[in-house]
Structures are given as structure tokens and as C-alpha cells.
Chains A and B, each alone.
Chain A
Amino acid sequence: MLVLKFFWEEDMTLKTILLGAVSALAFSGAASAETLTIATVNNGDMIRMQKLTDDFKAKNPGIDLEWVTLEENVLRQRVTTDIATKSGQYDVMTIGIYETPIWGKQGWLAPLDKLTSDAKYDANDLLPPIRSGLTVDGKLYAAPFYGESSMVMYRKDLFDKAGLKMPEKPTWDFIADAARKITNKGSETYGICLRGKAGWGENMAFLTATANSFGARWFDENWKPQFDQPEWKNTLDFYVKLMKDAGPPGASSNGFNENLALFQTGKCGMWIDATVAASFVTNPKESKVADQVGFALAPDNGLGKRGNWLWSWNLAIPAGSKKVEAAEKFIAWATSKDYLNLVAEKEGWANVPPGTRTSLYQNPEYQKAAAFAKMTLDSINAADPKKPTVKPVPYEGVQYVAIPEFQGIGTAVGQQFSAALAGQVSVDQALKNAQQLTEREMAKAGYPKK
């Protein structure tokens, strides 16, 4: 390849001919305006943003938008390859709150100083836990487009039938007790549906957040894995037993979508998952139980931390991009207060992207339109990515550990816990395996770092 590269650079005629041929074949027509290529995930709020592109173009003539929508895992792989090799295929990237601090520290992202200093944009209005998760050394590296936490969704009719009343802030004991009481396997009614499918963003998101409320942590202050501690054993024992008694069959392959389908078809008494699910399960077009759903905060064990997570999808600009100015304009538009008003005007307040701005939750119209607004806000504010656990930890992140190695380790540990749920290994064995593999990977990665 080196030889080829040499010719490429040296032989101008060859280069011209080849380039001519390449561009004739590759491009059907060059756009005159500056075009921003935006990579994003396929979810309702992002799709709505694509439909509102015209508003941005009207306000910013000369900037054209090109959307690349991809499934979450494909998107993560694509943007990571792109940013790590500095290929510059995307001008604006949709990235998670997990990646932002890692990439920010690496110097892969352009800091959004213009936004934080812009009074009209009002960065102080961003919800504090989310803003803090996106900030490295005082610099904001990505602007939140929508944020979510997790909470309990439950069926009011089943609770009434069993003579139960859901408290606003339930404990794990109450949840376990209620789940067992509601379960009627004969009629395919299961007390509780929880994630079991292996993956750092699937079962480990739920289990890590739950473990926080049981007083567990991934690592101690010296980056030593903690799966051999009693807190993790309590968490996993509780989860496996509860799911055996009151969960649906085959739970070890259930992720968000599988549980959503179960809940919407009336098979779950409770479901603890992302706040974004609230708008799906209360939508009468999709859900059979739309008018029977109640919400409560994620449970706790009285230790001062609730079992809810914190996630946001954010817009960021790769460092070294040649279109920083246009990209900044776009991000400012998409994450502004005006954008929320625009969505409200076109699609109604219930469809406004949630979980990013304090002012949205003070808006009486929004409070009226979105029954789950207060619960979402309380859940988000109850999570603190900088101080996620009862005991001190060296890492950031509520349901994840913000280090690059976590995707691999989290998924491997998730496979162990999924196997424990399926009954293929015992809880003790799963924890032992998790401890060993985490120790090995962390040693390989050179932790503790100086």
C-alpha cells in the first residue's frame, strides 16, 4: 500500500486522472451550500428533529443538513471509528453521556465554549446532573438533546385488585412483595419485568444502577473490582430470586424492547426501565394498558441512593472539524429553548424532547400535557454521575463506569449475570467469574493509573 500511496502523492497526472474518475463515479452533484453531515440514532425525538430541518435552514441560509440515522450500536461503532481515526465523515455526532467525558479527555471533541458563554442559549438552564456529566475540567463537550432516567411503571388495576398501594418512593422490599402478590402465572401475569439480556447498556445498566442502591460499587478507590463483596451478592441474589418467583419466562433474553412489548400487551405488573418508555406505554395506539399505568421513583434500600440511572443523548463536534462554526449553530438550534417551543407548536407539548432543561419543567403547559414530567425530573435529579454510589469510587457514571474499557468488561460481566438469571451458573459462581475477568481486564489496561 505504501507504494501505491507514493504514486498517489507523486504522480500528479495519475492522481488527476484517478481523482477525476473517482469523483465522476462517486458524486452525482456537488452542493453549493455548506453541508453538515449529522450522525444520529433512530428514536422518536431524533426523527422529529429531522422533520423540523426546514426551520433551521430558514434561520441559517447557506447551511444544508444531511442526516445519517443508524441503529444505536451501529452508530456507536461508526462514530468511534471515525473519531479515533480522525476521518471527518461527520460534522455533528450524536453521542451518549458515557462517551462524552472519555472523548473530551482524549481531546477528540471541540469544547462548546460559545454555547456556555451565550446568554441567549442559557447553559445554566441545563439540568445540573446532565450538564455535569458532559463537562470535563469545566468545559462543556456536548450539548444534551434529550435526557432520561429510570423509574417504576406499574399497573394501577392490578395493584387495586391485589389491594396494594404504590408509594411515591417505594423500597425494594415493597416492590418484591408486590411483585410476588400480583403474579399469576396461570393467566400469564407476571409481577415484574426486568432486563436480563446481556450487554453493558442492557442488563448491566439496570443491575449497576440497582447495585448502587444496595450499597455496591464496581471499584473501590484503588480500582479494585468489588464483585467479591457482600453488597453485590445481595443485589444479584435479590434479582435472581425475584425474577424466578415473579418474572416472565425466558427473562434472560429480555431487553428494553422485549419488556416494552410484554408490558404493552398487559403481561407485567411492574416494569423498571427508562423514563422514555412512559410515552410509549401511555400511548393508546400502541399500548393495551395505556389508561392503567402509574409511575413511581426507582426503589431504594434506605442507604441514600436510588436504583435509577442517568442517560442522555447529546450533540458534539469532532475536534479538528473544518465546519465548527456551522456545526455550533446547528447544535445551538437543536438544543435551545426555542427548539422546545417549536416542537410544542408543531407536535404538541407531550412530544417535546425531555430531560435537558429546567425551564421546561417549570412550564405549566408541559406539566399539564406530560403526566410523567415530574417523575422524570425527580428521577434525573436523584442521579449524580459524579457521586453515584454510597461508598466513594474513583469513577464517574451511574449505570456505567466512564472508562473506555467498560464496554467490553460490562458486556462480559453482563453475560455472567444473564447466565445466573437463566440458571446456567449459580449466583456465587457468576460473581466469582465477574470478579476474575474484571481483575484481569483492569490489570491488562494498566489500572490503577497514576
Chain B
Amino acid sequence: MARKVSTKRKLVMTAIAWTLGFLIFFPILWTFLTSFKSEGDAIASPPVFLFFHWTTENYTEVQSRSDYVLHFWNSVIMSVGSTLLGLLIAIPSAWAMAFSPTKRTKDVLMWMLSTKMMPPVGALIPVYLIFRDMGLLDSRIGLVIVLTLINLPIIVWMLYTYFKEIPGEILEAARMDGASLAKEIVYVLTPMAIPGIASTLLLNIILAWNEAFWTLNLTTSRAAPLTTFIASYSSPEGLFYAKLSAASTMAIAPILILGWFSQKQLVRGLTFGAVK
């Protein structure tokens, strides 16, 4: 990064970056603004941007109709729970594949990823029947299990690439000093891979938070997370865009705030190993 960059070039680049950033962020901003409009303003044409009558009635309405807190906690439990459980399984397996690869390691990795290649609806009926027979329908533990399983390939893949970047010699040195396998993973490998693990953790919490197929199909009321909360405000016959926007804003706000604060960690983790 020692190249000299002219001020003009810098300005242009900054302008482009901000424009792109704004374009990407715009749908979320629009949802946020719409949530403060009346239903009439929400469909106004040409659309009104800022100068409308601001109201919080949509939020009041959403609050009185749904149990936001219940859905919120369900979302927290299932996204954090599934990610932690996933890490517990994925760290040892990624370690094994990164440091003691065999002839078939690449195939195993590919096979894991292949489970993500089928559209989930293809497995809906068998999974649904298994859940029914085991009494797991509409239960949080059932959701944690299924979300762990669907995100596991991504967790393993991400961790595998991070672990690959760590020189094997360091682990060897630890072994020479008499560290057991467990100690090696806990005291040597994990601290070195913290940025990678942290970004895997965050990314998977976000993925699990937004998962809207299994969470909608396997829950009814008690274990229903925020995705079903949003689905209850969408309607093909009736314009409830402002209320839907209020519900969406409430559903994405927690994860947005979490993402905001952990931005640095996320970026560092995702570009980890790219610069040597």
C-alpha cells in the first residue's frame, strides 16, 4: 500500500464508494422510512421521500398485535444456539482436515458443500415427518438442530480455510513441548484463529437469523422466530406496506446493530490471510 495516490483519485474513489454503499443500503433505508408513513403515504406516487407526516402508529399497531419479545428471544436462541453448537462440531473437524489431510479430504469437503446444493424444499417432507414423529415440531431445540445442520458446511469450510493459513510448524512446536491434542486445539490453534472464528460466528448468526424457510415451516407459535413475525404482516390482498415495514424494521434492527458493532471483526476475519 505504499503507492502514492493523488487527491483527485482519492476523491473520486470515495464518491464511488459512498454511492455504492448508499445504493446497497437504500432498500433498508426505504423500509425504515416507510415504517413511519401512513398506509396512504406508503403507496403515494410519485413516492415521498422525507416530507410526509411522520407517525409511529404502525409500531403501536404491530406491538399490540404480536408478541415481539417472544419472537425476538426465539430468534436469539436459535441463531446463537445453532452457531455455537455448529462451532463445537466444526472446530475439531476443520482442524482434522486442515492439519491431517488424507487422500479423501477434498472429497469430504465437497460432499459437505453438496448438501447445500439441493433446494431445501426437496427435503421438507422427510424432515417434517421426522420432526413430527420425534415431537420436535414447533420446538426451539428442533430449530437449533436443523439450523446447525444446514449451516454446518459453511462453518466447516470457513474454518478450514482459516486453519489452512496457520503454519503447521507452530502446532508441531507445541506438540514437541508436550501439549496434548486437546491442549493444542484450545491453547494454540484457537487463539491464533480467533479472527477467523469470530467472523464465522458472526456470519452464521446473521445467516441463522435470516433463515426463512425452515423457521417458517417447522414452527407454529411457541417457537416461531422473527421471520414468522414478518410473514404475519405480509398480505397479497390489502396494502399494509407501512405495517409490514414497521415489522421488518423491528426484525432486522437487532442484527443490524450487532453487525454494526462487529463490523471491524467481520471485515478482518473475511480478509484474514489475504495479505501476507
Contacts and interface: CB of A to CB of B under 8 A. Distances in A.
Interface in B38-79: 38-40, 43-45, 65
Contact of A43 (B130, B133, B141, B235): B235
B135 A257 contact: no
Contacts of B232: 42, 68-71
B271 interface: no
Contacts of A71: 231-232, 234-236
B228 interface: yes
Nearest to B124: A81
Interface residues of B, number: 41
A228 to B, nearest CB: 31
- Give chain A's interface secondary structure class: mixed
B93 interface: no
A70 B228 CA distance: 7
B122 to A, nearest CB: 14
A37 B235 contact: no
B240 interface: yes
Interface string A234-269: 000000000000000000000111001100110100
Contacts of B43: 261, 264-265
Nearest to B43: A261
A70 B235 CA distance: 8
Contacts of B234: 42, 71, 74
Nearest to A47: B65
A288 B139 CA distance: 46
A41 B237 CA distance: 10
A57 B140 CA distance: 28
Nearest to A262: B45
Interface in A267-306: 267, 274, 276, 280, 285-288
A286 B237 contact: no
Contacts of A32: none
B132 A25 contact: no
A400 to B, nearest CB: 15
Contacts of A50: 65
A280 B231 contact: no
A22 B236 contact: no
B125 interface: yes
Interface string A374-408: 00000000000000000000000000000000000
Nearest to B237: A256
A73 B231 CA distance: 10
B45 A85 contact: no
Interface in A53-77: 66-74, 77
A261 B220 contact: no
A82 to B, nearest CB: 8
A267 B239 CA distance: 16
A28 to B, nearest CB: 8
Contacts of A119: none
Interface in A160-201: 201
B220 A90 contact: yes
B124 A42 contact: no
B11 interface: no
B235 A89 contact: no
A8 interface: yes
Interface of B: 38-40, 43-45, 65, 124-125, 128-130, 132-142, 216-217, 220-224, 228, 231-240
Given A25-B139, A42-B234, 16 more contacts: A19-B135, A27-B139, A28-B222, A37-B220, A43-B235, A68-B224, A74-B231, A78-B217, A85-B128, A85-B132, A87-B137, A255-B236, A256-B236, A265-B43, A267-B45, A286-B39
17 contacts: A22-B141, A25-B140, A26-B140, A27-B222, A41-B235, A47-B65, A66-B221, A68-B224, A68-B232, A71-B235, A78-B217, A85-B128, A89-B138, A89-B220, A257-B239, A260-B238, A261-B45
User: Closest 9 interchain pairs by CB?
Assistant: A26-B139, A71-B234, A69-B232, A261-B43, A42-B235, A87-B132, A89-B220, A25-B141, A265-B45
